[in-house]
Amino acid sequence: MLIGSEVKSMRDGKMSLDEAYIRVKDNELWLIGSDIAHYKNAGMWNHDPRRPRKLLVHAREYDKFAGRAHERGLTLIPLRVYFNSRGIAKCVMGLVKGKKLHDKREALKKRDSDRGLQRAMRRG
Distance CA 59, CA 28 (A): 10
Q: What does pTM read for this prediction?
A: 0.71
Q: How far is CA 52 from the centre of its chain?
A: 11
Q: What is the pLDDT of residue 40?
A: 84
pLDDT tens-digit series, residues 17-63: 988 999 888 888 999 998 888 888 877 778 878 889 899 999 998 88
Domain boundaries, the chain: 4-97
Q: Quick one: 4-97 is in which CATH superfamily? A: Small protein B (2.40.280.10)
Q: 112 phi and psi, to 5 degrees?
A: -65, -40
Amino acid occupying residue 41: N
Q: How many residues does the chain have?
A: 124
Q: How many CB atoms neighbour CB 2 within 10 A?
A: 17
